[in-house]
Chain A
């Protein structure tokens, strides 16, 4: 497939990324739950929309609007969203009201808001985009599958620009049920991707693949498929989350497949673990490629050379959903 070029990003996260500040030095003070630094939504959402929207919608529309703003107002030809739990808080509200009311006299509003495609639909409604609109809800691979959908769409004549996002909000309901708790997080990250380079210093996504319980050597096989020898990688961005069982999976791959000279970066200590944390990673790496360096708080191990051109993003969710994204600078 032809690569997709990143025109702009819009990211609401526990860091001050909404202002395009990717220094990632917000003091999270060792908190167990990292919550998004929300912008002033006035100006991003219509006043009626602002009053009626649930929090996840505000996060989604806010990040999408920021992304479009950062692209100089360029409108997309399609909207694709990845979300692991979608409107989980509305869903929980409706489920609770069913149990508590004995299935009587229910308000339809949380039901209407709980549809998994609500964010993609409301972004489309806000921007008045009547073309392709899709939502992927596949746990830890939701965003990366949305990205794959985007790349496929951009191969076609009629889709020149696609707005793709990854979004999940913190859910106390799910958090309480977790046996082992990594630092929990949330975020909304949108990207305007194009089939043509925007100019100098462009960053492109040249490959995306998602895996479900793959064989041990899946990264090596993927790199071979992409004709990308591991030694050409300047940086590897890992989804390390602080849980020993999860991190051991990365450790094995680092020791076996990744070149010793490559820079290693991590990000879940900055944004927390959530099903679409891959969107934070993509924004972080894109800005690093634009700036020529990863922000210090994300660097696990510096690279042997200062070169930063080819970057591999590797994330997994509970050693079940794995995803690989190849990113290349100009």
Chain B
């Protein structure tokens, strides 16, 4: 089942990836950190918050440094951190896919959950009192980052922003895939971006699910999620227009499903997650045993890891492939997580590597499997599954395969 199940022209190819997170500001820096098993979690130093002591995956560049890195010299006050992170990752992805000069129809499906909230927090007094300069109002909503990216790359058609909580960018990838399949674009830049905010930190804190010392996914002693920030973008192309030498891998299957169960919690039996994984397998024309690695959603909360773990057991039975959550490296980057973990899954495929689940201490008594805890550098992978589950029961699963 290694070959593309669809007629060749319907293959969805990935020709560029870009990422910025607590691990670094390029695919190379990300791979280096993963290989060295270096976590990006640390006390918060850049965001102004009273919750600085709670470890998070913060990108250790100020907005000014990000602006400099992007070579933005004018109108510097009109960029939110969400947009800057997005621009950094989108630029790397576009550069890698090298579309310069060719006349391809390009669209953009971005995603975010916090949008302009970071900017809003920084200027809260002026905004709440109504004294803010009116030119900044367009920076507050979800569309801003996508439009800044569109502006930079001259993208004018079918630009959208998906927002389905923690599965946002996985769902952005799915929308982009359908744009290619339906011939609406030759190339779609897909992904997501979220800056760390007081809003998210305090929100997760109010739910009492923030880990005080760094997340431990799939661990009996897990004590919550560690938040992060960052952006990741992928370039999707059809076989008809992709240059063969640029092809990194295929997006071979995907699923977007809903639990219709609870606003924030996932079904404890993992039915919703299992539904999502099964649908993705079906859309790829693959069997569970074809999956060689699962990059789990694995947030480190009591509920997620139990429900996702049970879903994996349900779908994979006695043949559970290596599983790890890489949120111990990056933190949970919310809207960016699906795309960031897609990039990490693609790195695993490209480099035949399995990335360990950091800080693992004790198996969960409810589960029959334990996560991958060592780095493996010679793992020939054919198909990798990546899960993203969000508030509102918004579940998504993606499958990446060797070209």
Interface residues of A (CB under 8 A from B): 1, 79, 84-86, 91, 94-96, 98-99, 102-104, 106-108, 111-118, 120-122, 124-125, 127-139, 141, 145, 148-149, 152-153, 155, 174, 176-179, 209-215, 218, 318, 320-321
Instruction: State which of B112, B121, B256 has its C-beta within 8 Å of the C-beta of A133.
Output: B256
User: For the complex, is B383 an interface residue (Cβ under 8 Å from A)?
Assistant: no
Interface set, chain B 120-168, CB cutoff 8 A to A: 120-121, 124, 127-128, 130, 132, 134, 137-138, 140-143, 146-147, 150-151, 155-165
Task: Please name the residue on chain B nearest to A103 by beta carbon.
Answer: B50
A134 and B157 contact, CB distance less than 8 A: no
Given A132-B257, A212-B147: A117 and B158 interface contact (C-beta under 8 Å): no
A117 and B163 within 8 A (CB): yes
- CB neighbours (8 Å) of A122 from chain B are 263, 392
Ordered by A's residue number, 13 sampled pairs between the chains whose C-beta atoms are within 8 Å are: A79-B258, A91-B117, A95-B120, A106-B205, A113-B263, A129-B260, A131-B257, A152-B178, A209-B157, A213-B150, A213-B156, A320-B147, A321-B143
Q: Bin the interface of chain B by size.
A: 35 or more
Which residues of B lie under 8 Å from residue A115 when comparing CB positions? 113, 165, 263, 390-392
Interface residues of B in 362-394 (CB under 8 A from A): 390-394
- B151 surroundings in chain A (CB, below 8 A): 212-213
Docked Cα-Cα span, A111 to B121, in Å, equals 15
Using CB atoms, name the residue of chain A closest to B203.
Answer: A111
Q: Does B38 interact with chain A (Cβ within 8 Å)? A: no
B207 on interface, CB distance cutoff 8 Å:
yes
- Chain B's nearest CB lies how many Å from the CB of A33? 16
Note all chain B residues with C-beta closer than 8 A to A321.
143
Q: Assess the B178–A149 pair: CB atoms within 8 A.
A: yes
Q: Which single member of B127, B258, B262 contacts A177 (CB below 8 Å)? A: B127
Q: B73: CB under 8 A from chain A?
A: no
When C-beta atoms are compared, the residue in chain B nearest to A320 turns out to be: B147
The answer to whether the Cβ of B182 comes within 8 Å of any Cβ in the partner chain is: yes
* Nearest CB on A from B90, distance (A): 14
Q: Which residue of B lies closest to A126 (CB)?
A: B260
Q: Are A98 and B198 in contact (CB under 8 A)?
A: yes
Residues of B within 8 A of A (CB): 49-51, 112-113, 115, 117, 120-121, 124, 127-128, 130, 132, 134, 137-138, 140-143, 146-147, 150-151, 155-165, 171, 175, 178-179, 181-184, 198-199, 202-203, 205-207, 256-264, 272, 275, 390-394
- Neighbour of B128 across the interface among A91, A96, A211, CB < 8 A: A96
Q: Which of A113, A145, A212 contacts B156 (CB 8 A)?
A: A212
Chain A, Cβ-Cβ closest to B130 = A176
| Other A-B pairs, 4, CB within 8 Å; known A1-B182, A121-B263, A132-B256 | A179-B134, A213-B150, A213-B156, A320-B138
Determine how close the nearest CB of chain B comes to the CB of A218; give it in whole angstroms: 8
A120 contacts across to B, CB distance below 8 A: 164, 392
Q: Which of B124, B143, B261 contacts A125 (CB 8 A)?
A: B261
Cβ–Cβ < 8 Å partners of A102 in chain B: 50
Selected contact of B159 from candidates A98, A112, A124, A212, CB within 8 Å: A212
Instruction: Give chain A residues whose Cβ lies under 8 Å from the Cβ of B264.
Output: 112
- Taking a contact as CB atoms under 8 Å apart, the answer to whether B275 and A116 are in contact is no
* Residue contact A138 to B182, C-beta cutoff 8 Å: no
Q: How far is the CA of A271 from the CA of B160 in the complex (A)?
A: 24
* Residue from B49, B205, B263, B272 in contact with A112 in the complex, judged by beta carbons closer than 8 Å: B263
| Residue in chain B with minimal CB distance to A153 | B178
Which B-chain residue is minimally distant from A108 (CB atoms)? B206
Complex: how many Å from CA A122 to CA B199? 22
Contacts of B394 in A (CB 8 A): 117, 121, 133
Q: Are the CB atoms of A121 and B206 closer together than 8 Å?
A: no
Q: For residue A141, which residue of chain B has the nearest CB?
A: B160
Q: B158's closest neighbor in chain A, by CB?
A: A210
Bound Cα distance A107, B207 (Å): 8
Q: How far is the CB of A127 from chain B (nearest CB, A)?
A: 8
Complex: A108 Cα to B181 Cα, angstroms: 40
